[in-house]
């Protein structure tokens, strides 16, 4: 089974980077030369097993709202089978930075903290997590774990702080009923960007009330990196430099992608609301049956199916073929403020066990975080899961210290590039790409 590797981030401190909503002074204090209170407490306490301690302790956990379903099913399964009880708090995505920053400043982080895998490197380098290297290295199945979420939480000294919590990937989805109405083969999604354009336009040409050919988060940097970067990777191009300081988003393949969506905007094939979409309702039009085809988060496919949509699922194609995906989701670790490390580890170790990965994660139709378990009894007859199994080996996760500022933040230079290129056609991709580089290199 293919092992997944994250591109290593640059070995430099980022404690002085301007973070907007994240409380800079508190995090800078956490990343001082002195170790945090739990920096050396990641080793098991005397008497604790490799699986941690299950003694009826109450544990606090924070995770992001986009992954509420997956987090809830894991916590419910753990609470039903353990003396320990996890109290889960779901944080609105836009509030996560401010809440974590304030809590880090005041020493009030939860026992278990999950965060977007592209944001975790910053949190780690600012001391928000307990070092759990010995515990992770002691897992008999460590080499079987999808390594991206471990690498994201590994600092420049090689200390490990996080494990996969929820693994999400980006896929292409299409509405089979709308495809049939448009005279398209409902079993065949796009295999090139040109086919994507043609199929989206065909659905739009149905002129059904409230139905669009495609939809995208035109004001959501995170949505766009998650679903558009794979098309560039599939074309054989990179999106950022190896050291995470230079944007490469003015390549020919990238410009073809932008022009494709600009053409679809001009033809009226893009759904109303795309230009203002911040991500809060990004998946709703498709799950409501009102979009023909769009790149989409795999974790949201189940909700669309539950809503009654006959969903086709395939890999995200490149300009002229090929496929890739964004290996995203959340990594989780024990926070620097937890006094219950052994009990928190009990949850983490349990979450990656064979039984949990198969009978909680895979059974729910989600992507497992153990490579040897990708092919299992729950996926063999599930075409959606089969797509995930096939595409993950071609997946990528870009890492940069200033990734959030350059791409995910509201009003980021990446969002500016997309809006200029696809809505306004200002022909400023090269200059806008330079602005992303300037932010990455701060």
Q: Which segments of 205-251 does DSSP mark as H helices, in order?
A: 221-234
17 has a pLDDT exceeding 70: no
In three-state secondary structure terms, 173 is: strand
For position 42, what pLDDT does the model report?
60
pLDDT at 148: 81
- Tell me the residue ranges of DSSP E strands in 194-292: none
Is residue 163's pLDDT more than 60? yes
Mean pLDDT (whole number) for 345-359: 98
Token pair belonging to 152: 């994201």
Distance CA 164, CA 109 (A): 19
> Do the domains 24-168+330-388 and 169-326+399-440 sit in the same CATH topology, yes or no?
yes
Residue 49 confidence class, pLDDT cut points 50, 70, 90: low
For residue 29, is pLDDT > 70? no
Q: What percent of the chain has pLDDT over 90?
A: 72
Strand pairing report for 58-64 and 112-116:
parallel
The predicted model scores a pTM of 0.78
The predicted-structure confidence for 198-207, as pLDDT tens digits, reads as follows 999 999 999 9
What DSSP state is assigned to residue 161?
A: -
**Average pLDDT value over all residues in the chain:** 88
Predicted pLDDT at 371:
86
The residue extents of the domains of the chain are 24-168+330-388, 169-326+399-440
Helix (H) or strand (E) holding 89: strand 85-91
The yes or no reply on domain 24-168+330-388 and CATH 3.40.190.10 is yes
Residue pair 146/167 in contact by the 8 Å Cβ criterion: yes
Contact in structure between 15 and 28 (CB atoms under 8 Å): yes
- CA dist., res. 59 & res. 202, Å (int): 51
Q: What is the per-residue pLDDT for 440?
A: 95
Looking at residue 184, what is its pLDDT? 98
Architecture of domain 169-326+399-440: 3-Layer(aba) Sandwich (3.40)
Q: Over the stretch 111-161, which tens digit does the pLDDT of each residue have?
A: 999 999 988 988 998 999 999 999 999 999 999 998 889 988 999 899 999
Dist CA 408 CA 233 (whole Å): 19
pLDDT at site 48:
55
């Amino acid at each position: 089974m293919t092992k997944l590797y994250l591109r290593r981030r640059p070995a430099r401190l980022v404690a002085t980077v301007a973070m907007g909503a994240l409380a800079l002074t508190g995090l800078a204090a956490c990343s001082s030369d002195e170790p945090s209170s739990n920096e050396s407490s990641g080793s098991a306490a005397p008497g604790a097993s490799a699986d941690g301690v299950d003694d009826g302790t109450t544990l606090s956990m924070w995770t992001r709202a986009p992954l509420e379903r997956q987090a809830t099913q894991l916590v419910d399964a753990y609470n039903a089978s353990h003396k320990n009880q996890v109290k889960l708090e779901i944080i609105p995505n836009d509030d996560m930075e401010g809440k974590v920053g304030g809590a880090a400043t005041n020493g009030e982080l939860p026992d278990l903290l999950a965060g977007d895998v592209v944001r975790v490197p910053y949190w780690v380098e600012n001391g928000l997590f307990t070092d759990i290297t010995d515990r992770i290295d002691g897992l008999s199945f460590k080499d079987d774990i999808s390594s991206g979420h471990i690498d994201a939480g590994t600092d420049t000294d090689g200390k490990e702080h996080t494990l996969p919590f929820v693994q999400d990937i980006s896929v292409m989805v299409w509405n089979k009923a709308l495809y049939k109405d448009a005279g398209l083969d409902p079993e065949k999604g796009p295999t090139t960007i040109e086919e994507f354009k043609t199929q989206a336009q065909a659905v739009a040409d149905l002129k059904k009330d409230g139905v669009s050919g495609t939809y995208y988060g035109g004001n959501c940097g995170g949505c766009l990196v998650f679903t558009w970067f794979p098309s560039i990777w599939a074309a054989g191009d990179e999106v950022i430099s190896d050291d995470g300081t230079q944007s490469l988003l003015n390549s020919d393949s990238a410009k073809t992608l932008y022009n494709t969506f600009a053409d679809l905007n001009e033809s009226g094939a893009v759904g109303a609301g795309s230009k203002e979409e911040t991500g809060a309702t990004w998946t709703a039009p498709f799950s409501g049956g009102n979009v023909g085809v769009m790149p989409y988060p795999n974790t949201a496919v189940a909700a669309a199916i539950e809503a009654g949509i006959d969903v086709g699922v395939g890999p995200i194609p490149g300009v002229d073929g090929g496929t890739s995906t964004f290996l995203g989701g959340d990594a989780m670790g024990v926070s620097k403020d937890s006094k219950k490390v052994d009990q928190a580890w009990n949850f983490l170790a349990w979450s990656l066990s064979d039984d949990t990965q198969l009978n909680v994660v895979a059974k729910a139709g989600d992507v497992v975080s153990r490579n040897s378990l990708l092919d299992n009894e729950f996926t063999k007859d599930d075409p959606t899961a089969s797509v995930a199994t096939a595409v993950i080996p071609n997946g990528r996760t870009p890492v940069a210290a200033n990734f959030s500022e350059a791409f995910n933040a509201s009003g980021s230079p990446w969002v500016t590039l997309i809006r200029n290129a696809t809505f306004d056609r200002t022909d400023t991709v090269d200059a806008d790409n330079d602005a992303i580089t300037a932010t990455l290199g701060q």
